Structure 1
Amino acid sequence: MANINQNQDREQWGSKIGFILAAAGSAVGLGNLWKFPYMAGKNGGGAFVLVYFIILFLVGFTLMLAEIVLGRHTQLNAIGAYRKIRKNWAWVGGLGVLAGFLILSFYSVVGGWVINYIVKSLTGALNVSDAEVLGGMFGELISGTTVPIFYHGLFMLATLLIVFGGIGGGIEKSSKIMMPALFIMIIILAIRSMTLPGAVEGIKYLLVPDFSKITIGVILDALGQVFFSLSLGMGCMITYGSYLSKDTNIPQSATIIPLIDTGVALLAGLAVLPAVFAFGFEPSAGPGLIFITFPAVFAQMPLGSLFAVMFFVLVLFAALSSSISLLEVCVAYVVDEWKMNRKVTTIVLGVVIFLIGIPCSLSLGPWSDITLLPGKGFFDTFDFVSSNILLPLGGLLLCIFVGWIWGTDNAIKEATNDGNLEFKLSGAWAFLVKYVGPVAILLVFIRSLL
């Protein structure tokens, strides 16, 4: 009777692989495709990758397990999960729901840019090798009025339609298509990039660590990247964990998901850095790598237009697999707490988030003079508040809650299905969640505020 849980009507994942692909999809997002290659490029390549792997185990696996266990134990949304164990901690889950809501409002705007670039690459508009011209094209798109809002609406509609289908028929089904397709496309792009003349320097830079490059700054950057890459602290994994049956091996899942996420990040590094080195570009900061540098690289490749289309479809799948988890965090909260119909909730929240995304889009153009925080418009304010305050705070309080309030003994009991499953690292995990996790996240928090 493994599928019986506290909430009889609650949907569940149809299969173990469905859950793993959906959870990995939540973790794999735009950050893997532009931020990881950029961070590696900025922080000494192989040195950064090595530190990243160590922190992935110490912090990534630790928090991933804590969130999934909390979700499955309570079979509730992010707020309900905290409340069920300790009533006065419900607000911590509220931080996650708010973070998901804010992030999706501006993330959807970026998702819209990606759809626009798929159209541009299909029509040949990106067949330009001059980075300056491409920079102007990108600037014109994001500072526009109706065009970016139209594409933001398209992206939000795609997200809404997937979540509308529910856990099995929507999120799981789409993840089973998007994640394997994402892997195939990124492997093809990495192979193409690595076989370019002069690409060897980029491969060596990414994979061969220079230990002299490991500094406190590199460690803190790797810590921040692990934390944000895995979608930790925003209730996604609590929500996804709440749809798990009692016979799922959580320690195994919590190991596989970060490894898939890192595999995609590494492949993205191998797709980006060798090509960037081969054509003499610098791995520039932020989204410019996707929207300016890479189109310039494709324009100089044989069959470049084909690879450009493939690349932007890959980026779209990565963005969608994350956006559906962000919307699901909000939907699960309303459905659980207010007992509202799932389909109605999805439509209402989708429309509200789309409307809030409009000022985020306009703040990069016509509304650029309107600021909420000093020097920050809507887009940058929502990004700063969610990424630099709500997520680290949510992760820090998660560690304290699971480690000290609920207790690691109870968490391990849930993770091992009352001792029926082996969890060899249970002692190490308990130590990490109680002591290492909080200290590591506190460092991320302090640094992100500075």
Structure 2
Amino acid sequence: MRDKWSSKLGFILAAAGSAVGLGNIWKFPYSVGTNGGGAFVAIYIVFLIIIGAPLMLAAITLGRKTQLSVFGAYKSIDSRWSFVGTLGVICGFFILAFYSTVGGWVLYYFKSAISGALNITDPNSLGEIFNSLMNSPKELILYQFIFMLSTVAIVLKGISGGIEKASKVMMPALFIMLIIIALRSLTLDGSMAGIRFLFVPDLSKITMDVVMNALGQMFFSLSIGMGVMVTYGSYLDKKENILNTGVIIPAIDTAVALIAGIAIIPAVFALGFEASEGPGLMFVTLPAVFASMPMGIIFCIVFFLLVIFAALTSSISMLEVAISYFVDEKQKSRVPTTLIIGLLIFILGIPASLSMGAWKDLGLIGNLNFFDLYDKLTSNILLPTGGFLLCIFVGWILKAEEAVKEIESSGIKFKLAGLWCFLIKYVVPIAIFIILVNSYRDFFLSLL
């Protein structure tokens, strides 16, 4: 018998956990810092309402209707579209290969925070710690292995016994820790400058790049393009109300991103650091920010623990996409399948782990090392392609009106059905197509 979520709350926390990951706590704050602050946030929220929520509902509805893995969901309605499910499985493989690399970095920093090694106020010295890690192959692979092992251990126990139970603990804990750090950040002198930067839009900062970056951040943050939400939706009971999940999950995802922004940006402003630091904000600037606070080392430990939780709630969802394919379509047993797939992804991730140090100059295609190739292949090609095809499939192949019948089959009335059908058939595909054109262009330019 196919496993199911034991409760609606369990599903929401697991699905939100999939969406809430390094993209919210690592990428969102530095994207705000490098894209004009409040202008970026405002555009992000508009895109979330118009595109993110409708697409989230489409993915969950497809999964709940078919009760199959992402591959089986497409195949059962139109076998010619089963390749979209295959893309989702492949995408999950490659994302988790480099995601587990960054997860390993976070584990290393958590250990370093506990030992007091990060209690340094000089960003240059912290930069040397990061560079030292990047040039330590044994430590990189060890921590990547530990992260992957933790992911496998949760997924081994299935949906209700593993993913749901873990999410019910990690998601509330993540929220509590993040709010504690945000409150601490707000008590610092000068923090209000960071709040103004975060929430007061400066319209002069809006450029096409800012708009595209906000659209991309919203799209990739919600974990839609790789089939996670289709897979998770397939474990829902037919009596569950799925209409509100299309709102609740994006709302939780955005709330975490905004609270992460409140936890980080005001503290960066208050203590005189640069919000536009970029990707190094979490690993170089933030430890310096914490070290500059009274009792900062405690907040540093708590912060990296919550990032571990965020990373794990996402990684288990990525692994489940592949596992559900083999269990549902190939009739394989969950335990050996999870162990084998987990090992394969770990091996696939080793070159990504070494790409910032020992294999830094080893370009696999063009100028891209393994880490960058995995990242750009998934972010620029597979994810937006999967999201675009999902939208076309639900809107035009399954038909949006049929999807509405599935949504209402649990006895609810979808009052905005007409608007949702219009968005999913016309507005969302056009918006994602714009992402696709830019993503494909950026990917192929990076190969030159």
TM above 0.5 = yes
Indicate the larger mover: 212-221 or 94-103: 212-221
Corresponding position of 1:193: 185
Q: Which residue of 2 aligns with 1:241?
A: 233
Q: Which residue does 1:73 correspond to in 2?
A: 65
Correspondence 1:17-56 to 2 at 5 A: 17-56=9-48
Letter in 2 for 1:364: M
Answer yes or no: is 1:312 the counterpart of 2:304: yes
Inter-partner Cα distance in structure 2 for 1:47 and 1:275? 20
Query: Please, which of 434, 437, 441 is the counterpart of residue 428 of structure 2?
Result: 437
> 2:275 aligns to what SS in structure 1?
coil
Deviations 1:15-59 (Å, cap 9, x if unpaired)? 000000000000000010121111212222222111111110111
Task: Determine whether 1:383 maps to 2:383.
Answer: no
1:75 CA drift (Å): 0.6
Residue 202 of structure 2 corresponds to: 210
The residue correspondences of 1:131-146 to structure 2 (distance < 5 A) are: 131-146=123-138
Amino acid of the residue matched to residue 381 of structure 2? Answer: I
Deviation at 1:190, TM superposition (A): 0.5
Residue 10 of structure 1 corresponds to: 2
**Paired AA for residue 418 in structure 2:** G
Kept in 2: contact 1:103–1:382 (CA 8 A):
yes
Unmatched 5+ residue regions in structure 2? 443-448
Query: What is the CA-CA distance between 1:285 and the residue it aligns to?
Result: 4.9
**Using the alignment, how far apart are the partners of 1:336 and 1:196 within structure 2?**
52
Partner of 1:232: 224
Q: Secondary structure at the match of 2:197?
A: helix
For 1:107, the aligned partner's letter is Y
C-alpha distance in structure 1 between counterparts of 2:224 and 2:364, whole Å: 26
Counterpart of 2:28, as a letter, is F
Alignment of 1:395 onto 2:410: no
1:2-401 aligned at under 5 Å gives the runs 9-401=1-393
C-alpha contact (below 8 Å) 2:38/2:198 kept by paired residues: yes
Q: In structure 2, give the amino acid aligned to 1:374.
A: G
Cα distance in 1, alignment partners of residues 407 and 308 from structure 2: 34
Displacement after TM superposition at 1:369 (Å): 2.3
1:220 positional shift: 1.5
For residues 11 and 236 of structure 1, the distance between their equivalents in structure 2, rounded to whole angstroms, comes to: 16
Letter paired with 2:415: K
- Alignment deviations for residues 185-232 of structure 1 (CA, whole Å, 9 cap, x no partner): 000000111111111100111112223333332221111111000011
The structure 1 segments of at least 4 consecutive aligned residues displaced by more than 3 Å after TM superposition are: 284-287
Partner of 1:422: 413
Give the conservation status (yes or no) of the 8 Å contact 2:408–2:414: yes
Mapped partners of 1:148, 1:55: distance in 2: 37
**Pair 1:285–1:82, CA change in 2 (3 A):** farther
The secondary structure found in structure 2 opposite 1:247 is coil
Deviations 1:45-84 (A, max 9, x none): 2221111111101110111011101101111111110000
8 Å Cα contact 2:92/2:321 also seen in 1: yes
Q: CA deviation at 1:286?
A: 4.4
What SS class does the counterpart of residue 291 from structure 1 fall into?
A: coil
Paired letter, 2:64: R
Unaligned runs of 5+ in 1: 1-8
Q: Percent identity?
A: 57
Q: Does structure 2 conserve the Cα–Cα contact (< 8 Å) formed by 1:138 and 1:292?
A: yes
Question: How much does 1:250 deviate?
Answer: 1.0
The letter for the 1-side match of 2:103 is: G
Aligned to 1:4: none
2:363 aligns to what SS in structure 1? coil
Could you say what secondary structure the match of 1:224 adopts? helix
SS in 1 for 2:273: coil
* RMSD, aligned α-carbons: 1.0
Partner of 2:356, secondary structure, is coil
Write the letter of the residue equivalent to 1:177: V
Deviations 1:148-168 (A, max 9, x none): 100000000000000011000
Whole-Å separation in 1 of the counterparts to 2:395 and 2:425: 5
Instruction: Report the count of equivalent residues.
Output: 441
TM-score (norm 2): 0.97
- Provide the C-alpha distance between the structure 2 equivalents of 1:293 and 1:285, rounded to a whole number of angstroms: 7
The whole-number CA distance in structure 2 between the counterparts of 1:286 and 1:91 is 36
Shift of residue 248 of structure 1? 1.2
Whether the aligned pair in 2 keeps the contact of 1:61 and 1:258 (CA below 8 Å) is yes
1:368 offset after TM fit, Å?
A: 1.9
SS at match of 1:363: helix
Structure 1 range deviating more: 360-369 or 249-258: 360-369
CA contact (8 A) 2:363 2:370 kept: yes
Q: Which moved more, 1:19-28 or 1:369-378?
A: 369-378
The amino acid of 1:210's aligned partner reads D
Listed one character per residue, the Cα deviations across residues 287-323 of structure 1 (whole Å, up to 9, x for unaligned) are 4111100000011111011000000001000000000
Using the alignment, how far apart are the partners of 1:112 and 1:300 within structure 2?
Answer: 25
